[in-house]
């Protein structure tokens, strides 16, 4: 585990040094949203982006497990800012660092919202190209608070191919739109399965539903991630980076494509951003 320096100078608002804040949401749990969020962060880091991750799912924080940072402890600097633990050069903040893994967080919505804002506004994030925020599933208090209080660049929606998952994913996407947050794209997780022994492809949960929904809703489709045992094993072992370096070609190709398409959307958004007003002085 890398230890960031506690001597780094903190800005008045740490988010002022973050270029893009990207929310990763889903309509329901169990679709692999946190794993996809971590894979996006790792993929962006591999492309040379400076990346941080915030685990905003205070009731079910899983980033410490899947990033291999269980047992890490944030540090509170002399200036009162929180220095997040670091892995692979990515600063990570999660409620999972503050609560024992077998202890439930039993809070009402306002308390959960307060802690998420605390992590965002007091985190010593440093200069980042992207801060990935892993939201709790659904359209509850925390996604609402985040969208209304933080300048989000956009949102990525993760779902699986089944109709029931897609229906909820569309609701999450429409929530962000109503809050004025641009959807950066949809990702279909567990999209297909390739047998490692015979090479046969099965679409266990169906296939293509997210891409069709994205087209219908005029939202970019960022890609399909296969159902693969390596992704599960590497997540359990806190070694998700190995999915980019040691997994089967179909997995590596899918992940690289997903990251490249997200980068395209970020570049397109930056290109189309309105220019700041100019003051001409005679």
Domain assignment present for residue 7? The answer is: no
Distance, in Å, from the CA atom of 22 to the CA atom of 245, rounded to the nearest integer, reads 25
Domain that holds residue 179: 14-265
Residue 272 lies inside a defined structural domain of this protein = no
Q: What is the pLDDT of residues 140-179, one digit of tens each?
A: 788 888 887 788 999 999 999 988 888 999 999 999 999 9
Q: Is 247 helix (H, G, I), strand (E, B) or coil?
A: coil
- In a domain, residue 139? The reply is yes
Residue 267: exposure state from Cβ atoms within 10 A (0-12, 13-18, ≥19): exposed
pLDDT by residue (tens digit) across 84-130? 999 999 999 999 998 887 777 777 777 888 888 888 888 999 999 99
Q: Does some domain include residue 9? A: no
Contact criterion met (CB below 8 Å) for 187 and 210: yes
Split into its structural domains, the chain has a count of 1
Asked, for residue 207, whether it belongs to a domain, the answer is: yes
Residue 279 pLDDT level (bands cut at 50, 70, 90) = low
Question: Does 145 fall in a domain?
Answer: yes
Residue 225 domain flag? yes
CATH code of 108's domain:
3.40.50.300
**Residue % of the chain over a pLDDT of 90:** 60
In a domain, 219, yes or no: yes
């Amino acid at each position: 585990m890398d230890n960031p320096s506690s001597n780094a100078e903190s800005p008045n608002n740490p988010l002022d040094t973050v270029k893009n804040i990207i929310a990763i949401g889903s309509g329901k749990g169990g679709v692999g949203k946190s794993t996809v969020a971590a894979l996006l962060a790792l993929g962006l880091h591999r492309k040379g982006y400076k990346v941080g991750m915030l685990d905003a799912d205070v009731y079910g924080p899983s980033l410490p497990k899947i990033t291999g940072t269980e047992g890490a402890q944030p540090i509170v600097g002399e200036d009162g800012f929180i220095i997040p633990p670091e892995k692979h050069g990515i600063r990570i903040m999660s409620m999972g660092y503050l609560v024992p893994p077998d202890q439930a967080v039993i809070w009402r919505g306002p308390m959960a919202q307060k802690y998420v804002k605390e992590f965002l506004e007091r985190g010593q994030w440093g200069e980042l190209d992207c801060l990935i925020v892993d939201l709790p599933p659904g359209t509850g208090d925390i996604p609402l608070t985040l969208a209304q209080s933080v300048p989000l660049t956009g949102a990525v929606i993760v779902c699986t191919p089944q109709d029931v998952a897609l229906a909820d994913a569309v609701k999450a996407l429409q929530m962000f739109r109503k809050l004025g947050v641009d959807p950066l794209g949809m990702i279909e997780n567990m999209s297909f399965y390739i047998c490692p022994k015979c090479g046969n492809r099965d679409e266990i949960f169906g296939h293509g539903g997210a891409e069709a929904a994205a087209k219908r809703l005029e939202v970019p489709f960022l890609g399909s991630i296969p159902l693969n045992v390596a992704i599960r094993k590497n997540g359990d072992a806190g070694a998700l980076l190995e999915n980019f370096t040691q997994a089967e070609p179909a997995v590596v190709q899918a992940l690289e494509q997903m990251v490249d398409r997200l980068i395209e959307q970020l570049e397109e958004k930056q290109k189309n951003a309105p220019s700041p007003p100019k003051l001409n002085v005679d």
